């Protein structure tokens, strides 16, 4: 930690939060305790929380006045607008996104800055994370294994996303028209990742540099996959077809793959009618195979098989 008021700010750590009183203290302190040799700032945007989140971050800001800046909304903006408005307040060369229930490893910021400083053609950098429970217990030692190195838009589309949002650091020179396209209710982070991938390649560090809290995001809501996530996914692949018309067939195949993933997850969480629907849509998109067929015909049985497999893996 250094004094961010006395010289150029290298990184703006942007923490977004809403009603996360149980986790926000740990998230912010993990940002405070970064082992770096440069100046950085921590910006926290509270989207009009109704619990004690505001009082917790106010106390932390008073404790670290030269490091932490608070942005407390009087009215709830919603996740998308809260994030983008926060980014526009950043003074750093790079922006590190942090969700208010996740945790950063002490060397996270340094390792990502090293990548961006040494690769001018890389627009954003990501890394692997542990997956933890609401109590902080490790559920998995990897969010998703992904090759270290540079990756293209098409590699992102092949697994959207292959990283947790809190693992992302990007250059603070996003064109205003890009933010304008993303500034709407219902925007989901995968749309931002796609837009950013068009500004330059990404670089993934195959290292665990933080912890992602499972079951606390917006992907699954009310026991089903959130409709806003499904619609955002559809918009991304539709945009990709317009931008890369010569790759329409490949993109359609990747879209079908994403629908298979939704069918898989829906079956696992017990949303069987959704599982059947996603499997059918995936096959219509041209994605055939035994997984889609199995889910389409026997979604309940498939869900039980997957659940047993996960329990078996945890036991051993």
Question: Is the same domain home to 153 and 168?
Answer: yes
What per-residue confidence (pLDDT) applies to 222? 72
Question: Is the same domain home to 234 and 199?
Answer: no
HEC secondary structure over 41-56: EEEEEECCCCCCHHHH
HEC secondary structure over 115-179: HHHHCCCEEEEEEEEEEECCCCCEEECCCCCCCCEEECHHHHHHCCCCCCHHHCEEECCCCHHHH
Average pLDDT along the chain: 93
Question: Is the same domain home to 166 and 32?
Answer: yes
Give the pLDDT confidence of 215-268 residue by residue, as tens digits.
Answer: 665 577 678 899 999 999 999 999 999 999 999 999 999 999 999 999 999 998
**Residue 248, domain extent:** 220-315
- Point out the domain boundary residue: 213, 242, 275: 213
Count of CB atoms within 10 A of residue 274's CB? 21
Question: Is the same domain home to 203 and 151?
Answer: yes
Question: Is the same domain home to 172 and 304?
Answer: no
What per-residue confidence (pLDDT) applies to 316? 34
Regions in the chain scoring below 50 on pLDDT: 4, 312-316
- Considering its fold, how many domains does the chain have in total? 2
31: CATH: 3.90.550.10
Among residues 253, 250, 274, 254, which one has the least CA distance to residue 264?
Answer: 274
The residues, any chain, with a CB within 8 Å of residue 148's CB and separated by 6 or more, are 204, 205, 206, 207
Decide: pTM greater than 0.95.
no
Give the C-alpha separation, 109 to 104, whole Å: 8
The two structure tokens encoding residue 105: 């490893």
Question: Is the same domain home to 203 and 108?
Answer: yes
Question: Is the same domain home to 249 and 289?
Answer: yes
What per-residue confidence (pLDDT) applies to 134? 86
Note whether 32 and 67 are within 8 A (CB).
yes
Question: Is the same domain home to 199 and 277?
Answer: no
Give the C-alpha separation, 260 to 296, whole Å: 10
Does residue 4 fall inside a structural domain? no
What per-residue confidence (pLDDT) applies to 1? 57
Give the pLDDT confidence of 9-26 residue by residue, as tens digits.
Answer: 999 999 999 999 999 999
């Amino acid at each position: 930690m250094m004094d961010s008021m006395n010289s150029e700010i290298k990184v703006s750590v942007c923490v977004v939060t809403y009603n996360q009183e149980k986790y926000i203290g740990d998230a912010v302190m993990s940002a405070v305790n970064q082992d770096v040799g440069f100046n950085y700032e921590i910006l926290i945007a509270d989207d009009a929380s109704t619990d004690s989140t505001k009082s917790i971050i106010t106390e932390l800001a008073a404790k670290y006045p030269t490091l932490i800046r608070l942005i407390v909304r009087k009215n709830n903006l919603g996740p998308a607008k809260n994030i983008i408005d926060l980014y526009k307040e950043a003074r750093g060369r790079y922006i590190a996104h942090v969700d208010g229930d996740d945790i950063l490893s002490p060397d996270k910021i340094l390792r990502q800055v090293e990548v961006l400083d040494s690769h001018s053609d890389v627009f954003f950098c990501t890394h692997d994370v542990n997956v933890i429970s609401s109590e902080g217990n490790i559920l998995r030692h990897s969010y998703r294994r992904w090759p270290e190195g540079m990756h293209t838009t098409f590699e992102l589309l092949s697994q959207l996303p292959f990283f947790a949002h809190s693992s992302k650091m990007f250059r603070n020179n996003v064109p205003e028209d890009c933010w304008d396209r993303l500034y709407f209710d219902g925007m989901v982070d995968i749309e931002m990742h796609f837009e950013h991938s068009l500004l330059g390649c990404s670089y993934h560090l195959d290292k665990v540099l933080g912890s992602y809290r499972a079951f606390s995001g917006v992907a699954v809501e009310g026991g089903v996959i959130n409709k806003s996530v499904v619609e955002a996914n559809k918009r991304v692949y539709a945009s990709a077809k317009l931008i890369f018309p010569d790759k329409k067939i490949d993109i359609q195949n990747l879209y079908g793959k994403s629908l298979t993933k939704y069918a898989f997850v829906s079956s696992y969480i017990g949303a069987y009618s959704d599982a059947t629907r996603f499997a059918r849509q995936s096959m219509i998109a041209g994605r055939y195979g035994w997984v889609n067929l199995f889910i389409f015909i026997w979604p309940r049985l498939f869900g039980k098989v997957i659940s047993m497999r996960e329990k078996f893996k945890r036991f051993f």
